[in-house]
Amino acid sequence: MVAGCRARAPAKVILLGEHWVVHGGLALASSIGVYARVTCISQGSGLVVESPSLSVSEELRGGRCRRLCGLARAAEYIEERLGVSTGVRCRIESDIPLGAGLGSSAAVAAAFAAAYSCLLLGGRQPPRDLVNGAAYEAEKVVHGRPSGVDNTVTVYGGLLLYRRGSLMKPLPPPPVSDAVLLIALTGVERSTRVAVERFTSRLRLLGDQASRLIELNDSLVAEALAALWRKDYKRLGALMTLAHGLLNGMGVSIPLLDEIVASAVAAGAHGAKLTGAGLGGSVVILAPRDKVDDIRASMPAGVRLLEASLAAPGVAAQPIPEAASGAGGGRG
Ligand code: PMV
């Protein structure tokens, strides 16, 4: 018997293909080494989830959820599939900035789904497809029409080529190189749902051009992948900057994101683009290592730069033995 389980799941970065992937296009994405952690301890008869950093503590059963309804749905999905449920108290801790385009909601949902299902399975590592299905259900509640790329990357980890409903191709980690991937965090929070609606209505307006644009995205993704393997970072960077221009044309950039892209490129980056939903959030910058300081100095005030380590492992859970559970929480 275990007292509980803890799990962690990584953030993600979309290198190319966000938004187009919602409409059947390809996306190239990778997990990165920044994590959400969830600890679930057997307790009482309810399903209480708390997140001290969000100042939230909610009972999720009986339709009582308010802000964490995605997790309520994930728990239901797991209980339906496993045919069991239990009283539990879970605690979320996350280092992934919220609303930053780094898949924080999917990572929290995956870590929660892994910790809760591990507990229901008596401390065993849950099947990844169960965790992925639950995280996708949570994403549907939060975003309305997710492509599934965020939950897939956080659950399986690594570098992935993804197409909604048909293709999830895990790729070997990219070759070691002197190019670095930086993430510029604007701190401007936005809703993925709103950005997806904006992009979708622009695509509808474009009528016959829509399918051509989706094909263009797919060819940019395929070329980007080839450039990554050839270590042709100039070409990869040019493709990224072009992809940003297209996203801008589709209405999901804002002047601050455009300024970051332009400043990074002027300071010597190979290329840059918004990542995730846009309208705020983050920019990914591909740069030669010796230009990082110049790029940092060129950033608009208030923008924070992280260096991303690509292809982090996917979600993982571990049991908490009875004797270790005294604190009723823990650090995943
Ligand atoms: O900004 P995020 O982390 O929610 O990423 C959204 C990615 C989109 O392609 C815009 C939406 C989706 O479901 O794929």
Q: Alpha-carbon distance 251 to 273, whole Å?
A: 14
Using 50, 70 and 90 to split pLDDT, how confident is the model at 171?
confident
Which residues lie closer than 8 Å to 307 by C-beta, 6 or more apart?
180, 181, 182, 183, 292
- State how beta strands 159-163 and 26-42 pair: antiparallel
Residue of 325 and 300 predicted with greater confidence: 300
Cα 274 to middle of ligand 1, angstroms = 11
**Are residues 132 and 151 in contact, defined by beta-carbon separation less than 8 angstroms?**
yes
Q: State the closest ligand 1 atom to the C-alpha of 143, by its place in the atom list counted from 1.
A: 13
21-43 in b/e burial notation, b at 16+ Cβ within 10 A? bbbbbbbbbbbbebbbbbbbbbb
- The sign one gets for the Cα dihedral 95, 97, 101, 104 is positive
Residue ID of nearest Cα to ligand 1 atom 7: 276
Q: Which residue has the tokens 């301890």?
A: 41
Say how many Å lie between the first and final Cα of the chain, rounded: 19
Cα 66 to middle of ligand 1, angstroms = 22
What letter represents residue 73's amino acid? R
Residue 178's pLDDT is 81
Residue 173's pLDDT is 79
Residue 188's pLDDT is 95
**Which of 284, 289, 277, 326 has its CA nearest to residue 305?**
284
Whether the per-residue pLDDT at 244 is higher than 50: the answer is yes
Using 50, 70 and 90 to split pLDDT, how confident is the model at 161?
very high
**Are residues 111 and 9 in contact, defined by beta-carbon separation less than 8 angstroms?**
yes
- As beta bridge partners, residue 94 has 36
- The sign one gets for the Cα dihedral 96, 287, 152, 218 is positive
The predicted-structure confidence for 246-292, as pLDDT tens digits, reads as follows 999 999 999 999 999 999 999 999 999 999 999 999 999 999 999 99
**Are residues 26 and 20 in contact, defined by beta-carbon separation less than 8 angstroms?**
yes
Q: Which residues line ligand 1 (CB under 6 A)?
A: 18-19, 21-22, 101-103, 143, 146-147, 149-150, 192, 196, 276-277, 281
- As beta bridge partners, residue 183 has 284, 306
Q: State the closest ligand 1 atom to the C-alpha of 104, by its place in the atom list counted from 1.
A: 3
Using 50, 70 and 90 to split pLDDT, how confident is the model at 325?
low
303-317 in b/e burial notation, b at 16+ Cβ within 10 A? bebbebebbbebbbb
Pocket test for ligand 1, best of 94, 140, 149, 198 (most atoms within 8 A of CB): 149
- State how beta strands 159-163 and 2-16 pair: unpaired
Domains in the chain and their CATH numbers? 2-170+312-324 (3.30.230.10), 175-307 (3.30.70.890)
> pLDDT exceeding 90 applies to what percent of the chain?
86
Pocket test for ligand 1, best of 160, 167, 192 (most atoms within 8 A of CB): 192
Mean pLDDT calculated for residue range 181-208: 95
Residue ID of nearest Cα to ligand 1 atom 14: 147
The predicted-structure confidence for 289-321, as pLDDT tens digits, reads as follows 999 999 999 999 999 999 998 999 999 999 999
The predicted-structure confidence for 139-160, as pLDDT tens digits, reads as follows 999 888 899 999 999 999 999 9
**Residues forming the active site:** 150
